[in-house]
Amino acid sequence: MSVLAGTLSHMNRLADIAGATATAHSMFVPGAPVIAMVSGGADSVAMLRALADGVFGPLALSVLHVDHRLRGADSDGDAAFVVGLCASLGIPCRVVSIDVGSFAAEEGLNLEDAGRRVRYAQAALELEIRCCELGADPADGRIATAHTFDDRVETTLMRLAQGSGAQGLVSLGHRRGAIVRPLLDCTRADVLAYLGTRGQGWRDDATNLDTTRVRARVRAELMPLLRGINPRFDETMARTLTVLGDEDAFLDTLAREYAGALASTGEHEISVDRLQLAELPRVVQRRVLRLLIRDTFAEASRLEFDHIEAACEGLFDSDFARDLPDGLRAFAEYGRLIISRSAERAEPFDAGVLPVPGMVDIGHAGAMTATLAGPVDPEREARVAIVDADVISGPLTVTPMRPGDRMRPFGMSGSRKLSDILVDAKVPARLRPLVPVVRDGERIVWVAGIKSSEEYRVGPATQRTVRLEWKPL
């Protein structure tokens, strides 16, 4: 085979493999917006040329270049190169300049992690803008990054050397949400050949040759050594990563089923059934907790094996509490394991008057409504109470719990401390300030979602009722 034929073979290899990868992983929607992340390096330039050449079909392509402001004039040169290349290809391009060094210092991150967060945040914003401009469904939009097979192997070796489970070894996947990596099955040799046949230049980043950095050292020293030991190293590594990836996907599916059954999540908190999760094998416990944290706190990138292992141990300890990276805290609370942005006590909401009929806004505790009706049976919905309207002596108010509060719970002859009622209901102390208490003067009518008062019970002689409903945020 001639040198030219070999080069053409590599060129066709990249297009064929990348096209097949995109199809296998449903990466692109025809005609939909795609933001190509282009640094100016060989890999991202090859991806841009493949996108522009139509390897992945017709797409509404645009480019985002993020200047990290770390390399002075070289950074300026990278930006100018990308802008010029896009102009020659007729592709819209946006350059965003961000001081990643300052961001890393402020957030306590290393430069690589900080740069990655900045790039993906900017790409998500750019994709949102493009979808709006084109009237496209945001679910169809994609962010394309130029990671190659070499990047994938280097990441695996780095994590193997630094300590990682199977999930970490294969975490550089083909697609995650809107992020796609169409060149992930192509080698760096494929990239260079593809660019060579087009006479296409690129920008070299000198920091990629700095072997004081782990990735550069793996690339310069370890990869050649392994390829020397096994000339078919790339082939066997690809097979190994495929097997690991399939097993990882299966375990993730299993973990997601358990997470759906045992956990509830909010914007700032995960709540897991501590005792039921503790009955599962440790491998499933780890997966469930890592999956929940990853889905709920996307920016929590510094969790390590020891942190997850500590949370697993906490499943068996009713007094467990531990701070985790990225401002998270894990702690046991009754029969639950809570992972939260903050374990601090909630601030009480401002009290308000509840008109009958009418509604009162109780701030971060939600809203309370009152509706007049005739004789009706009590409802079993926890956030609804039906009370006797004719027993109410004055205007209703809604307040947080107060020290010394007592009430006569439904079905009881004597009164009890409200604090004891909330303990019995397993309402965490940190959340009790958010529980609305409906009062008729000094008497408690209803502790929302917990107990109503025996004094306001609907009976056979009741002619008018008030329906109270709590709508928490």
CATH number at residue 390: 3.50.40.10
What is the per-residue pLDDT for 354?
Answer: 96
pLDDT of residue 106: 85
Residues 39 and 188 in one domain: yes
Domain with 202 in it: what CATH number? Answer: 3.40.50.620
- The DSSP code sequence of 39-107 is -SSHHHHHHHHHHHTTTT-S-EEEEEEEE-S-STHHHHHHHHHHHHHHHHHT--EEEEE--HHHHHHHH
Same domain, 117 and 225: yes
Asked if residue 235 belongs to a domain, the reply is no
Q: 180 with 286, same domain?
A: no
Q: Which residues constitute the domain of residue 403?
A: 352-471
* The pLDDT of residue 7: 42
Give domain status of residue 327, yes or no. Answer: yes
Picking from 309, 340, 371, the residue at the C-terminal end of a domain is 340
Q: Classify residue 248: in a domain, yes or no.
A: no
Q: In what order do the strands lie in the sheet with 352-354?
A: 352-354, 396-399, 437-440, 443-447, 451-452
57 & 183 share domain = yes
Task: Judge whether 237 lies within some domain.
Answer: no
Q: Which residues contact 171 (CB under 8 A, 6 or more apart)?
A: 155, 159
pLDDT value at residue 343: 58
What is the distance between the alpha carbons of residues 41 and 58, in angstroms, rounded to a whole number?
24
Query: Does one domain contain both 31 and 61?
Result: yes
Could you give the CA distance from residue 250 to residue 237 in angstroms, rounded to a whole number? Answer: 20
401: Cα separation from own chain's centroid: 34
Into how many domains does the chain fold? 3
Question: Is residue 347 in a domain?
Answer: no
- Pick from 340, 366, 400: which residue ends a domain? 340
Residues 10 and 103 in one domain: yes
Query: What is residue 167's predicted lDDT score, i.e. its pLDDT?
Result: 72
**What is the CA 13 to chain-centroid distance, rounded?**
35
Is 243 part of a structural domain of the chain?
no
Per-residue pLDDT of the chain (473 residues; tens, 9 = 90+): 333 334 445 547 899 999 999 999 999 999 999 999 999 999 999 999 999 999 999 999 999 999 988 888 888 999 999 999 999 999 999 999 998 888 888 877 778 888 888 999 999 999 999 999 999 999 999 999 999 999 999 989 988 887 777 777 776 889 988 999 999 999 999 999 999 998 999 998 877 777 778 888 999 999 999 999 999 998 899 899 888 888 888 998 999 999 999 999 877 889 999 999 999 999 999 999 999 998 888 767 677 888 899 999 999 998 898 888 888 889 998 899 999 886 566 788 999 999 999 999 999 899 999 999 888 876 678 899 999 999 999 899 999 999 999 999 998 989 999 999 998 888 888 888 999 999 999 999 999 999 999 999 999 999 999 999 999 87
Location of structure tokens 């992340």: 37
Q: Please tell me the predicted confidence (pLDDT) of residue 171.
A: 66
pLDDT of residue 2: 35
Domain co-membership, 301 together with 373 = no
The answer as to whether 247 is a domain residue is no
Statement to judge: residues 206 and 314 lie in one domain? no
CATH of residue 298: 3.30.465.60
CA dist., res. 153 & res. 225, Å (int): 13
Q: What pLDDT is recorded for position 301? A: 64
Report cis status (omega within 30 of 0) of the bond before 33: no
Among 320, 340, 360, the domain-final residue is: 340
Regarding whether 65 and 206 lie in a shared domain, the answer is yes
Q: Is 442 helix (H, G, I), strand (E, B) or coil?
A: coil
Instruction: Clarify whether residues 13 and 82 are in a common domain.
Output: yes
Same domain, 336 and 357: no
Same domain membership, residue 52 and residue 170: yes
Where do the H-state alpha helices sit in 178-222? 188-197, 214-217
